[in-house]
Structure 1
Amino acid sequence: MQRIIKNEQIIDETWHLLPKEETLDGLSNCDDVIVPLHLWIDHAHALKARDGGLGIWLDSNEEVEEIADDLEHFQVIALNFPKFTDGRHYSSARLLRERYGYKGEIRAIGDVLRDQLFYMRRCGFDAFAIRADRDPEDALQSLKDFSVRYQAAVDERLPLFRRRQG
């Protein structure tokens, strides 16, 4: 069983991430699943009727605007990083939090490494599925790498100079 970082704790993963090739055939009605965007587009009605939890995952070339009208249906939005150098989903997380007001879990999946976590959290991520060959305990410590944040972001609305004036 994979372990993930969620809300600054390491927990056992309970959600099933369905691969892109998956269909709804044989999908349990009560499991918590994170489906790829194309399954949501093709089968939204059937997925909403399930008893289990529902999440969606977006690949790096898929935009949050495609699901903006459906956010209330998702408990988890997973954003895939196919390689650690692909940073497009940093913006996606910020859009989900700031423009669309999404309050549910935003999870980083794919090629997620320790060095990215602090910055991902600043953009709105609150869960991280660390790459399988990496240590989640070590990655968790990266959230404490910096004690002061100068710039404003999702996790700190005011820049340091404004916080000091108050």
Structure 2
Amino acid sequence: MQTTEVTDFTRPRVIHLSGNTPVVVDDLWTIVRDEADARQRIQTRGEALKHVVLPVNVYLEAQQFDASTLAATGAWIPPHADFELWAPNLQGAPMIAVDFPSFRDGRGFSIAVMLRTRYGYRGELRAIGDVLRDQLEYMRRCGFNAFGVRPDKSITDALKGFSEITVRYQGDANDPTPLFRRR
């Protein structure tokens, strides 16, 4: 008798780095883009905030009143935000998402590098928004360890983006040592 694996395609999928290997997994996080909806969720508290990613403004407001409520809550950063003012307040967030509203907008790469190198953030750092296959390896080199590929693109095809660059001369956020020093 042959068994058939049933996959739940209703749940969003993301790419996570397991060690340095990219794998496709179910997305346990819900990203709340609307600030009014996010504030409503904070008022109800409890399970409504478990594995929820709030706009950074709302996350920081809630943190001032009750940081324990945000134990299983993340924050997402828009590219235009001056996040360095409050980056130290995000250290306890289990997940930070950086929004890429357009594939042409590279500010999220700089945000990721600064979070990893300057501020020492070690939690999940996820790229969200207009995330495409040919950006994934560069995003990993900047410090991202999770990737929400654009919904209209194949996530399994996007995995190929991690194997297209085989030799890296310069260092990155994970290993700043350049190639000539690694020999």
* 1:32 and 2:20 aligned: no
Alignment of 1:1-166 (within 5 A): 1-7=11-17, 8-21=22-35, 22-26=37-41, 27-30=44-47, 31-46=50-65, 48-50=67-69, 53-164=72-183
Deviation at residue 28 of structure 1 after TM alignment: 4.8
Corresponding letter in the other structure for 1:86: D
Deviation at residue 38 of structure 1 after TM alignment: 1.7
Q: Using the alignment, how far apart are the partners of 1:130 and 1:39 within structure 2?
A: 24
5+ long unaligned stretches in structure 2: 1-10
Q: Using the alignment, how far apart are the partners of 2:165 and 2:39 within structure 1?
A: 44
Tell which deviates more after alignment, 43-52 or 63-72: 43-52
Tell which deviates more after alignment, 4-13 or 52-61: 52-61
Ranges of 4+ aligned residues in structure 1 off by more than 6 Å: none
Q: Deviations over 1:30-61 (max 9, x none)?
A: 32111101212322245623276111001110
Deviation at residue 95 of structure 1 after TM alignment: 0.3
Q: Deviations over 1:103-144 (max 9, x none)?
A: 101100000000100000000000000000001111112111
The aligned length equals 164
5+ long unaligned stretches in structure 1: none
Tell which deviates more after alignment, 111-120 or 58-67: 58-67
Corresponding letter in the other structure for 2:12: Q
Q: Using the alignment, how far apart are the partners of 1:47 and 1:98 within structure 2?
A: 28
Q: Deviations over 1:49-104 (max 9, x none)?
A: 32761110011101331332212320111000000000001011000111011110
Retained in 1: the 8 A contact 2:77–2:98?
Answer: yes
| TM-score normalised per structure 1 | 0.91
Corresponding letter in the other structure for 1:3: R
Q: Percent identity?
A: 40
Larger RCO, structure (CA 8 Å, separation 6 or more): 1
Q: Which one has the largest radius of gyration? A: 2
Deviation at residue 25 of structure 1 after TM alignment: 2.2
Q: Using the alignment, how far apart are the partners of 1:69 and 1:52 within structure 2?
A: 16
